[in-house]
């Protein structure tokens, strides 16, 4: 039983790390906001907004129109029609955007589209580049806010990127939306309250032009934003969180929603597997608080997987204890369980009750169970390349 106890001790201690990080972030999110540096009065950096779009004809016009309302005469709005086989480019031009078309059947993904746009902008570079997905809506003032914050901080800025349930959302859809609230609002907000950097979460990213010249953005990985955040942190430019809001609508069709969640979560796990050791090595070479904060943030797996790991480890620890092994692992796992419950409960009470009403909390176990095949597929048929998922009412 000694070997079993030692293994369970290691597992229990390993789970204490992400659950502690999660609790600290959720608790810090409830603290008062830190005072943010303000842009010089009347000054807003010259900004280019890039919209990567693959077969987004259904919504690109509305996206361009709402973005144009937030731009100033010296700004640019550039749509990259990336490997499109519909009329995305035509509709974006009609709506008033500058459009470039990219075709490369061997290199897919938002990272490649962004890199292509940056090369287009090189002849007359802006001060700040903002990236917005074609299926997103930026709240009024978002572009001003994140562009100014990026210019003042001299680092990337990530807006609060939220996923709203569609009109016919199920209980599990709303649980998924709550998970996004925890990941993209609560945790980054907590890190900002502590003065620590966050990860990039997708749309609503603002970069000083000089920073984008330091790292490569090209790539077709399924979690390209997270990997870019790590590269930036290693280079000395860890991203920071902004309260400005940008939203998208969850896919309205079950298969599309499953595809999107698989892409996000497989990408997260693949990033942990590939990038995690690189971050540890970078910390050994150049120990910095910002880099350590990014490493700890990476250590927290998707919430559903964290719950599954805890349940499985706790069950084994209880069984081993009943058969004569030490009860120490079970005690450590009980502590982890309390931390996890406290973190999620705090996040729900403070930020998630509108997204997931109390009467629908019973959907959480079903949501976790339905994720099991997704995580098994990470081992058997991992999704490692970018695939577009249909959004909202797009049921083509």
Residue-wise pLDDT for 249-259, tens only, equals 876 555 555 66
**pLDDT for the residue 392:** 44
Q: In the chain, what is the straight-line distance between the N-terminal and C-terminal CA atoms, in Å? A: 57
Phi and psi angles of residue 336, each rounded to the nearest 5 degrees, phi first: -60, -40
**pLDDT for the residue 270:** 78
Percent of the chain whose pLDDT exceeds 90:
57
CA atoms within 13 A on the CB side of 242: 33
What is 6-44 written as a DSSP string? HHHHHHHHHHHHHHHHHHHHHHHHTSPPPPPPPPPTT--
CA distances from 224 to 46, 199, 365 (A): 26, 11, 29
| 356's tokens | 């997931």
pLDDT tens track for 209-250: 999 988 888 876 666 788 899 889 999 999 999 999 999 987
Query: Considering only CA atoms, which of 134, 164, 211, 189 is closest in space to residue 346?
Result: 189
**pLDDT for the residue 227:** 86
The larger pLDDT score, comparing residue 280 to residue 210, is at 210
CATH of 47-253 given 3.90.550.10, 2.60.120.560, 3.40.50.720, 1.10.3720.10: 3.90.550.10
- Pinpoint the alpha helices (H) of 185-253: 187-193, 209-212, 224-234
The whole-model pTM stands at 0.86
* Average pLDDT of the residues in 266-279: 77
Phi and psi angles of residue 316, each rounded to the nearest 5 degrees, phi first: -65, -40
């Amino acid at each position: 039983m000694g070997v079993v106890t030692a293994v369970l001790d290691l597992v229990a201690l390993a789970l204490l790390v992400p659950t502690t990080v999660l609790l600290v972030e959720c608790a810090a999110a409830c603290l008062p906001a830190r005072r943010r540096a303000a842009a010089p009065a009347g000054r807003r950096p010259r900004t280019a907004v890039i919209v990567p779009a693959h077969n987004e004809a259904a919504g690109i016009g509305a996206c361009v129109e709402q973005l144009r309302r937030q731009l100033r005469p010296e700004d640019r709005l550039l749509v990259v029609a990336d490997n499109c086989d519909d009329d995305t480019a035509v509709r974006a031009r009609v709506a008033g955007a500058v459009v470039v078309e990219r075709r490369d059947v061997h290199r897919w993904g938002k990272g490649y589209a962004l890199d292509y746009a940056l090369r287009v902008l090189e002849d007359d570079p802006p001060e700040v580049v903002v990236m917005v997905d074609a299926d997103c809506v930026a709240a009024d003032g978002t572009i001003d806010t994140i562009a100014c914050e990026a210019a003042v901080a001299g680092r990337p800025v990530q807006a609060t990127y939220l996923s709203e349930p569609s009109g016919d959302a199920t209980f599990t859809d709303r649980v998924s939306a709550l998970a996004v609230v925890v990941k993209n609002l609560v945790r980054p907000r907590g890190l900002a309250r502590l003065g620590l950097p966050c990860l990039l979460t997708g749309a609503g990213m603002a970069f000083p032009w000089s920073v984008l010249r330091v790292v490569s953005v090209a790539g077709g990985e399924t979690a390209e934003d997270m990997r870019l955040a790590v590269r930036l942190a290693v280079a000395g430019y860890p991203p920071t969180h902004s309260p400005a809001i940008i939203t998208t609508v969850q896919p309205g069709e079950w298969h599309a929603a499953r595809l999107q969640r698989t892409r996000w979560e497989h990408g997260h796990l693949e990033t942990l597997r590939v990038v995690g050791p690189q971050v540890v090595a970078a910390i050994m070479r150049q120990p910095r608080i910002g880099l350590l904060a990014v490493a700890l943030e990476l250590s927290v797996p998707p919430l559903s997987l964290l719950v599954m790991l805890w349940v499985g480890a706790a069950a084994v620890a209880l069984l081993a204890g009943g058969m004569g092994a030490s009860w120490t692992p079970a005690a450590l796992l009980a502590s982890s369980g309390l931390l996890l419950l406290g973190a999620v409960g705090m996040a729900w009470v403070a930020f998630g009750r509108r997204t997931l009403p109390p009467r629908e909390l019973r959907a959480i176990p079903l949501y976790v169970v339905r994720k099991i095949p997704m995580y098994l597929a990470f081992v058997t048929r991992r999704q490692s390349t970018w695939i577009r998922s249909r959004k909202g009412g797009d049921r083509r």
